[in-house]
Structure 1
């Protein structure tokens, strides 16, 4: 069995309400094992005998559409992949606090050849971005007089693929 984390995009925002207790029960009934959730923002940990993350994402997405009536982009990483995300941070030794925050945006698939240009265009004195094959790390410096541009909100649109973002604390907490 492989341990996974499913990151659900934009749940419990506005009218897109998904109760985590109900979701755990539904996923359990659908054959997922040891289903757990972390906070209400759509972080689901589970085990599966499948090694096909795309198929698992599709299965969860269809279950959410059927049971809640709206599509929920679902991005899945194995716990081993998340451990690598933490180890390869481009911001080693930086502990997020009130003056600096670190976010990881999980990309749903490969990005086009324009991605490096997009990332470069979003850099500023207040926001530092670093892209890997499947994630974009963002450090936001809040202690400057410059207001951050909230590039995290712009990533999906500018890269042209679905993504979902979690803060550094959440990324570390969902590794089980």
Structure 2
């Protein structure tokens, strides 16, 4: 049995793509996922399945959400090792006087190259900062996520990927939940 974490993008935001987590849980259990557990209303869902391929798991969840709720929801599926790598590899964690509330991670649908950071043209968003690591982009917003144009839509357009962003507190809580499983 493999535990996957599905990160759903764009649900329950400003009254759009509304999905109650208990309804989502029941829907995923009905199609065979086990030990379905959600965290907050923004679409973080743990599922256990015999399927090891995360892309197949994501596709299955995406199909079922569309079929049941009528929403086209982009999904990035990650494993425990992705969250562990976040804690090990986030370059901003080494800074003194770090405001954790300004740290975010964009999880993307494919492995990136280190030179993809040039494609993002992050310098035009200074003083926001970013760093790429495999299928993650670590982001440190100068003011906050709500006051920047360096967001998931921009990342997707520039890199031609599916992306979903989580704040640092959510990332650490999801890892804690993985460890408790």
Q: TM-score, normalised by structure 1?
A: 0.86
How much does 1:7 deviate? 0.3
| Cα pair 2:113 2:134 within 8 Å, conserved | no
| Cα pair 1:45 1:174 within 8 Å, conserved | no
> Which residue of the partner structure matches residue 105 of structure 1?
106
State the superposition RMSD in angstroms.
Answer: 2.3
How much does 1:43 deviate? 0.5
| Cα pair 1:138 1:152 within 8 Å, conserved | no
> Structure 2 vs 1, CA of residues 96 and 27 (structure 1 numbering), >3 Å: closer, same or farther?
farther
> Which residue of the partner structure matches residue 81 of structure 2?
80
How much does 1:113 deviate? 9.2
> Which residue of the partner structure matches residue 142 of structure 2?
141
| Cα pair 1:96 1:168 within 8 Å, conserved | no
> Which residue of the partner structure matches residue 127 of structure 1?
128
> Which residue of the partner structure matches residue 162 of structure 2?
162
> Whole-Å Cα distance in 2 between the matches of residues 79 and 113 of structure 1?
22
| Cα pair 2:34 2:47 within 8 Å, conserved | yes
Query: Unaligned regions of 5+ residues in structure 1, if any?
Result: none
Query: Unaligned regions of 5+ residues in structure 2, if any?
Result: none
| Cα pair 1:107 1:134 within 8 Å, conserved | yes
> Which residue of the partner structure matches residue 48 of structure 2?
47
> Structure 2 vs 1, CA of residues 142 and 113 (structure 1 numbering), >3 Å: closer, same or farther?
closer
- The number of residue pairs the alignment matches comes to 170
> Which residue of the partner structure matches residue 66 of structure 1?
67
Partner secondary structure for residue 141 of structure 1:
coil
> Whole-Å Cα distance in 1 between the matches of residues 129 and 4 of structure 2?
28
